[in-house]
Amino acid sequence: MQIFREKFQLGSKTVPASPIRELYGKKTLSSGRKVLVAPLDIVLMQNVGGVEIFQPPKVFGNLIGASVATHSDLVGSIIGFDYPPTNLFDVKPVVFIQPDTNFDLTNISEVKTSSAPSIHQGDPVTLILAPGLTVAGKLVSNGTVTRNYPEASSEVQAYRVDFDQTFLRDVHGARIVAGNALLGILIATQNQRDGSCHTLVFPAEKV
């Protein structure tokens, strides 16, 4: 499901809406409460005149309460994210959303998991954009690796996954599965001249 953060009034400043991204899924907390999970992009990026601009919040908690929507429906409001990061060397690249009371959670995939799948370098994985719309890829790292994200001064632990096609950044937030197990959330893409794409996938059990 494609979503975006709506423009948000922050004091006297209007923060432009975010670009379109994928909704990762829903997570059931230990209390039984259900929250939605989206990529950190929806607070890091702004859509200015159709151009994606990296302009992350400078104060912790900015954009809390901002609405998230599809092109036709309200999804909910942002209730949490860790940016600027509490730990520069372990960025959590996700945003938590309180679902709107009228938003139907029935067909939203549950993404809560407590353990990493058994997967090895070279194993196949699948990117899921919608039911029946998938793209095959391959794990190229031996477990997770450390990479700069989203800036040179901070780092994330993520899997390296390659695909034999390029992507627009609106796929960020998509689910990646290994067999029947959830591997994680797609957080970064880097298209290559040979028509392939290098990506980073944040582990599902850390979301």
pTM over 0.85: yes
**Domain 124-206 top-level CATH class:** mainly beta
Q: Do 94 and 111 contact (CB within 8 A), yes or no?
A: no
State residue 58's pLDDT score. Answer: 84
For 55-89, b/e burial (b = at least 16 CB within 10 A) is ebbeeeebbeebbbbeeeeebbbbeebbbbbeeee
State residue 192's pLDDT score. Answer: 98
Look at residue 156 and tell me whether its pLDDT is greater than 90: yes
**Each residue's pLDDT tens digit, 163-199:** 999 999 999 999 999 999 999 999 999 999 999 999 9
A 10 A CB-CB count for 17 gives 19
Per DSSP, the residues of 120-147 read -TT-EEEEEEETTEEEEEEE-SSS-EEE
**Each residue's pLDDT tens digit, 88-107:** 999 999 999 999 999 999 99
* Average pLDDT of the chain to the nearest whole number: 96
Can you say how many angstroms the Cα of residue 157 is from the centroid of all Cα atoms in its chain? 14
Look at residue 65 and tell me whether its pLDDT is greater than 90: yes
pLDDT-above-70 percentage for the chain: 100
- What is the residue extent of each domain of the chain? 2-99, 124-206
Look at residue 61 and tell me whether its pLDDT is greater than 90: no
Q: With H, G, I as helix, E, B as strand and everything else as coil, classify residue 14.
A: strand
Can you say how many angstroms the Cα of residue 155 is from the centroid of all Cα atoms in its chain? 16
State residue 166's pLDDT score. Answer: 98
Q: Do 43 and 78 contact (CB within 8 A), yes or no?
A: yes
**Each residue's pLDDT tens digit, 12-26:** 899 999 999 999 999
Look at residue 11 and tell me whether its pLDDT is greater than 90: no
